[in-house]
Structure 1
Amino acid sequence: MTTTPAYNDLQQHIAALKERNLLIEVDRQIDKDSEMHALVRWQFIGGMKEEDRKAFLFTNVVDGKGRKFDIPVLVGGLAANRSIYSVGMGSSVDEIQAKWDNAISNPIDPQFIDDAPCHEIIEDGDSLSQPGHGLDALPIPVSTPGFDSAPTLSAGNVITKDPETGVQNMGTYRCALKAPDRLVVRMATRVGGAGGYQHYQKCQQMGITEMPVAIVLGCPPYVAFMGPQKLPLGVDEFTVAGGLAGAPINVTTAKSVDLVVPAEAEIVIEGFIDTTKVEPEGPFGES
């Protein structure tokens, strides 16, 4: 079954921002390792009024060595200011809290679809570890040039599953690039550990050495907003996203791991977290 969603995907959200003059498109060459985040951050530290901030869409991205990427990068596209946030929420700023309250109180289960857009292009196997493929194909920015230890995904939705109950969790955790086929994920974002970290601990206790994970980039705003939301542990964020949308969120089964992912995601990175070892992570500057 293929179903037209009752909510905006990321491309429609970008179009809505552009229509409202909330988006700056940058088509000149921008270095993701030294310029991109530094440029956007001036809005927050340079004395600009909050209502004047914009989302940025970079369409001509290179790295510090001049290598060009085919994938554009959106920065500040979800909540650079209240107006941008309200576009993603599909309501006025004054109505956002009530919309959240209603969604949490009235969750809607997602619906599975076939022919999911996120599966239009699939890369797997040995090609993932080749230069220019796998993670190496993604223009992952350096958030704080001169301080961060690695290019880092800072706005992805990391999906894991409780190995006992089967209930998924979706959190926004930073993911630092280690190799063309490896990221390191930091999940300790709340007292007692984030939902994903608790799944990690359960896997360790149960002797599960590989924990399935899916890292989602560029999903519909209603889904993206679930990552940083501190919902009660054990609540499947897709159901609350459905509450925000007022309709089921389209989902599909990941290709290589037993997890459910948003069907309209731009990119889904699938893999496993080794529960038998840890790696150095950071520093990472967030301000």
Structure 2
Amino acid sequence: MSDSPETDALDAHLQKLAAAGLLHVIDRPIDKDREMHPLVRWQYRGGIPESRRKAFLFTNVTDAKGRSYPGARVAIGALAANPEIYAVGLGKPVADIGRAWLAAMAAPIAPRLVDSAPCQEIVLTGDDLLGEGKGLDALPIPISTPGYDTAPYFTAGLWATRDPDTGVQNLGLYRGNLKAPNRVAVMMERSTLAGGGVHWLKYKARGEKMPVAVVLGAPPLVAFTGPQKLPLDCDELTVAGGLGGRPVEVVRCKTVDLLAPAHAQVIVEGLIDTDSLEPEGPFGESHGYMALEEYNFSMTVTAITRRTNYTITSIISQVTPSESSVIKKVAYEPLYLDHLRNALNIKGVKRVSMHEPLTNLRRFLFITIAKGTPNTEVWRALLGAASFTPAIGKFCVAIDEDIDPENADHVLWAIAYRSNPLVDTHVVPNRGKGHGPELPGGGTDSTMLVDATAKGNFPPVALPKKEFMDRARVIWEELKLPQLAPESPWSGYSLGDWSDEWDACAARAAKGDWIANGRRSAAHRSATAEPQDPARGIVFRAE
């Protein structure tokens, strides 16, 4: 890592992505209100594999009225279009992301205050925030879900607030609904104890407005802390310092008593009303449905500070997979694994996987369990995963190591044949409603736990053995048939319930000597067996 914090800022990160072949630079005019997010959305709904998804940088931004934004760019997917992009921003290989988070949370580093900062090259206050084309209306904030969203939204904005009792600052990633050149409505979810929402209650009790600063275009190490689930009394800037191995440089805001990352792109300062709420939405949310209009917090902007030339980041969200799901998945899964294996000491847990397509990680957790793990430990793992955080784990499923958790068909296969709903499921009441459309009847939700591990040995998977599939693949390629992308399982394998005798029979059949197997079965005809009785222990009798 370089000694200069500026080399870790967003612009340097974009340069690294370009050098790695992970960035599309779009120089033609693109309308932020009608074209930008739909264009990036196609790489998630167009059959493009995750490994080939890239960040987009728009250098010629326009809007629905034909206006342009000189000196401004918009980056989408620059934080986590795929795990490799996240890894570039973190400065670690993908395999080390989990360990990096655990190390950073164990050894946070306090930020370092500086007197001046790139994010304050230009300072706008007073009349510069009022009127069309000024204030927020001068920033190229995209519309995320054209045709449904009611306004441009901050989607990658980190909202800085401070606990009025402890003085600890918090950074949270919340959606921000632009309302006027000097006003934003924000949803800080209270049901899952978002830091900003907890602070708002304290300011309300004091009868005071809540100071807030929205960080746009944060350095990646800082940006990654926003969606991470950190304790309420933890300052995310200290964890960002731990991630980078040195203090994050911060600067005092101009009109509110908060600290902002000095090397961010734009800072929007203001006060959130604690006397009244404002209708916010609809907005296309990460659970895959439109979040309908609801009352949320209203912020009045007191200042906008920024670089002379700046880049706005916007997260591609809505129906998953998307950038918002990747940014959580690569960080959350290792934390869950550490919680179960180390905090709860369940050594049989091999992996924790969050189902991503359409469900946004929060609803389905798949826990891979080592063969031979006692049933009591399987249930401890299920209960431990379901209770780790309030918003994640509506359905928790324990699976064996041969089941691919990234393939929902695999998991359904395990549930279908390795679980008995009467004894292998358990419903836990009193789960928070979480994030998504409210079910009819309201009230609290619940969690279903499913033990879909094999309760003993199973017959082999019914596909040709590997050596036969390998031979067939060579022939396939010699025939120049369409390129293959093997899907697991693509060959058979034993699950314990198989004998050397049956293996020998199969070997004879593969050599064309199936008639010998017929003589074997004829020698063991039975007048007392019932249809479908097992025929175990039969051996081949040589003539």
Q: TM-score range by the shorter chain?
A: over 0.9
Aligned position for 1:160: 161
Task: Say if 1:107 and 1:233 are closer, same or farther in 2 by CA, change over 3 A.
Answer: same
CA distance in 1, matches of 2:69, 2:23: 21
CA distance in 1, matches of 2:138, 2:28: 20
Please state how far the C-alpha of 1:64 moved relative to its aligned partner: 1.0
Give CA-to-partner distance per residue, 1:146-186, whole Å, 9 cap, x none. 01111101011100011111111100000011001111011
Give CA-to-partner distance per residue, 1:63-118, whole Å, 9 cap, x none. 11111122110000000001100000101000110000000000001101122111
Aligned position for 2:268: 269
CA distance in 1, matches of 2:223, 2:48: 26
Aligned position for 1:207: 207
| SS of alignment partner, residue 279 of structure 2 | coil
Aligned position for 2:65: 65
Please state how far the C-alpha of 1:238 moved relative to its aligned partner: 0.5
Please give the residue correspondences for 1:231-250 in structure 2 after superposition, counting only pairs within 5 Å. 231-250=230-249
Please state how far the C-alpha of 1:207 moved relative to its aligned partner: 1.4
CA distance in 1, matches of 2:128, 2:152: 21
**One-letter amino acid matched to 1:237:** E
| SS of alignment partner, residue 5 of structure 2 | coil
| SS of alignment partner, residue 280 of structure 1 | strand
CA distance in 1, matches of 2:88, 2:97: 10
Aligned position for 1:80: 81
Q: Among the aligned pairs, what percent are the same residue? A: 54
Are residues 1:284 and 2:290 paired? no
**One-letter amino acid matched to 1:23:** L
For the 8 Å contact 2:190–2:198, the answer to whether it is kept is: no
| SS of alignment partner, residue 43 of structure 1 | helix
| SS of alignment partner, residue 69 of structure 1 | coil
Please give the residue correspondences for 1:248-263 in structure 2 after superposition, counting only pairs within 5 Å. 248-263=247-262
Please state how far the C-alpha of 1:189 moved relative to its aligned partner: 6.5
- Name the stretch that deviates more: 139-148 or 180-189: 180-189
**One-letter amino acid matched to 2:15:** A
Aligned position for 2:120: 119
CA distance in 1, matches of 2:191, 2:242: 24
> Which stretches of structure 1, 4 residues or more, deviate above 6 A after TM superposition?
none
**One-letter amino acid matched to 1:127:** D
Give CA-to-partner distance per residue, 1:115-138, whole Å, 9 cap, x none. 211111111111111322210110
CA distance in 1, matches of 2:258, 2:194: 18
Task: Say if 1:58 and 1:189 are closer, same or farther in 2 by CA, change over 3 A.
Answer: farther
CA distance in 2, matches of 1:6, 1:102: 23
For the 8 Å contact 2:89–2:220, the answer to whether it is kept is: yes
For the 8 Å contact 1:158–1:215, the answer to whether it is kept is: yes
CA distance in 2, matches of 1:140, 1:171: 19
- Comparing both chains, which one has the higher relative contact order based on Cα–Cα distances under 8 Å and sequence gaps of 6 or more? 1
CA distance in 2, matches of 1:196, 1:189: 9
Are residues 1:12 and 2:12 paired? yes
Q: How many residues align?
A: 283
CA distance in 2, matches of 1:265, 1:171: 15
CA distance in 1, matches of 2:150, 2:131: 22
CA distance in 1, matches of 2:229, 2:202: 20
| SS of alignment partner, residue 86 of structure 2 | helix
Aligned position for 1:218: 217
Aligned position for 2:27: 27
Are residues 1:46 and 2:46 paired? yes
**One-letter amino acid matched to 1:171:** G
**One-letter amino acid matched to 1:229:** Q
For the 8 Å contact 2:162–2:168, the answer to whether it is kept is: yes
Aligned position for 2:103: 102
For the 8 Å contact 2:237–2:248, the answer to whether it is kept is: yes
CA distance in 1, matches of 2:57, 2:191: 31
Which ranges of structure 2 fall in alignment gaps of 5 or more residues? 285-317, 320-543
TM-score normalised per structure 1: 0.96
Aligned position for 1:181: 182
Give CA-to-partner distance per residue, 1:6-44, whole Å, 9 cap, x none. 861111001000100100010111111111011101111
| SS of alignment partner, residue 72 of structure 1 | strand
Please state how far the C-alpha of 1:254 moved relative to its aligned partner: 0.5
Aligned position for 1:135: 136
Task: Say if 1:6 and 1:218 are closer, same or farther in 2 by CA, change over 3 A.
Answer: closer
For the 8 Å contact 2:79–2:85, the answer to whether it is kept is: yes
For the 8 Å contact 2:129–2:136, the answer to whether it is kept is: yes
For the 8 Å contact 1:6–1:245, the answer to whether it is kept is: no
CA distance in 2, matches of 1:124, 1:35: 31
Give CA-to-partner distance per residue, 1:250-273, whole Å, 9 cap, x none. 001101000011000100000000
**One-letter amino acid matched to 2:170:** N
CA distance in 2, matches of 1:187, 1:229: 15
Aligned position for 2:294: none
CA distance in 2, matches of 1:261, 1:11: 17
**One-letter amino acid matched to 2:158:** N
CA distance in 2, matches of 1:103, 1:6: 20
CA distance in 1, matches of 2:23, 2:190: 30
CA distance in 1, matches of 2:52, 2:212: 37
CA distance in 2, matches of 1:110, 1:179: 33
CA distance in 1, matches of 2:255, 2:4: 25
For the 8 Å contact 1:7–1:245, the answer to whether it is kept is: no
CA distance in 1, matches of 2:219, 2:156: 13
Which ranges of structure 1 fall in alignment gaps of 5 or more residues? none
**One-letter amino acid matched to 2:31:** D
**One-letter amino acid matched to 1:47:** G
**One-letter amino acid matched to 1:164:** D
